[in-house]
Amino acid sequence: MKENDKGVHSAAGIKDLSIGEAEEVIRLCGDKPYKARQLFNWLYERNVESYDSMTDLSKSLRFFLNESYHISPLIFEERQISALDGTEKYLFRTRDGNFIESVLIRNDGTDDGRLTVCVSSQVGCAMGCRFCQTAKLGFIRNLSPGEILDQLCQVRRLSGLRNNNVVFMGMGEPFNNYDNVIKAADIMNYTFGFHISTRRITISTCGITPALERYIEEKRMYNLAISLNDTLPEKRVMYMPVEKKYPISGICSLLQHSLPHSKNRVTIEYVMRKDNIGEDDAKRLKKMFRYSRIKLNLIPLNSGDHGIELPEQKDIEKFMENLRIMNIPISIRNSLGSDIYGACGQLSGIRYRVAG
Ligand code: SAH
């Protein structure tokens, strides 16, 4: 296996192909390009594990595909189920021996009836956020589109459940792997792929400004979530080094001038620590987003070996009250799966002992 210039392992995987690319492959095999839709239906809708089951494709096409493209780039290693809330964390091994995690979340409190899969977009992460466990791994490599999509295939198969919501909030910074993330999201959305509505796919970023500009320019419809976490640049930079290169002020002015095309409001994620939930923080938040159509998602800092003080419940309540008075739409993301290290910022691809 070789690595290409994007740091992705290039062993051919069928789930790395867009519908157009699959049509081309099939056409070159002398078959009708529309067969690609049947192929996608088998891969994503019916979620099969072998070409043998694809009975409406010709034997010769199945033989060719089997010789040329593997179906599953991920090897399932382990599943942990939270005793607290039923959240399921899945550990997968990539073909080159890296570990990634995905999480199945039954209901995170933000919207009833959602069944969410939280997918990883990279092995490790280069962003170095102080509170995040994935950052400790450093950046190893980007995941290919197929490795992102196969997380959904495998979680669906192993859980027996069909998720209707996807968040790119697992390991990695999705906007540092822009092309592969968008390609995977497009296949999730595609009628002959997973057919998940664009409004049910959320890409979360710590704020890579050029990628965000590109995203808006390309009129992508997926929901956007931006990890703010602090209102003062000098404080934010202490927790999120990305602030140095791409200051949040730039992102705020971008959001004031050119709105993303998603019909949903942009979510501003705010990880609550002990020291960023005062009245002044609430005021600054109000000021920052005065002219933008956003909603605020509050996430209580989850434990880890970051050594940062967790917020107290009474202070969280006060902060929420302050925000409410200022008319900022807010939701709180309950920390689910924390006993299996499956909550926000706890994914590391390492087998943890179940806490308890
Ligand atoms: N790199 C992307 C997506 C992954 S993190 C991003 O930064 O948005 C998904 C969310 O979890 C982010 O909002 C991040 O700020 C938050 N997070 C990270 N570590 C956390 C922790 N220890 N407790 C609570 N939330 C955390």
> What are the pLDDT digits (tens) for 174-211?
999 999 999 999 999 999 999 999 999 999 999 999 99
- Please indicate whether residue 229, judged by its CB atom, sits closer than 6 Å to ligand 1: yes
3-state DSSP assignment of residue 220: coil
Question: Is 344 one of the annotated active-site residues of the chain?
Answer: yes
- Would you state the pLDDT for residue 68? 96
SS3 263: coil
In terms of pTM, does the model score above 0.75?
yes
**pLDDT tens string 267-283:** 999 999 999 999 999 99
Residue nearest (by alpha carbon) to ligand 1 atom 7: 206
335 lines ligand 1 (CB under 6 A): no
Closest atom of ligand 1 to CA, residue 225 = 8
Q: Could you tell which of 125, 148, 272, 299 is best to mutate to test the pocket of ligand 1, judged by most ligand atoms within 8 Å of the CB?
A: 299
Residue 328, number of CB atoms within 10 A of its CB: 18
- Rounded to the nearest 5 degrees, what angle is found at the Cα of 60, between the Cα atoms of 58 and 62? 70
Lowest mean pLDDT among 91-100, 313-322, 330-339: 330-339
The alpha carbon of 133 and the centre of ligand 1 are apart by a number of angstroms equal to 9
| Cβ of residue 243 lying under 6 Å from some atom of ligand 1 | no
If you measure from the C-alpha of residue 297 to the centroid of ligand 1, how many angstroms do you get, rounded to a whole number?
Answer: 11
- Is 153 a residue of the active site? no
- Residue 352 confidence (pLDDT) above 90: no
Contact 87, 104 (CB under 8 A): yes
- CB-CB contact of 62 with 49 (8 Å): no
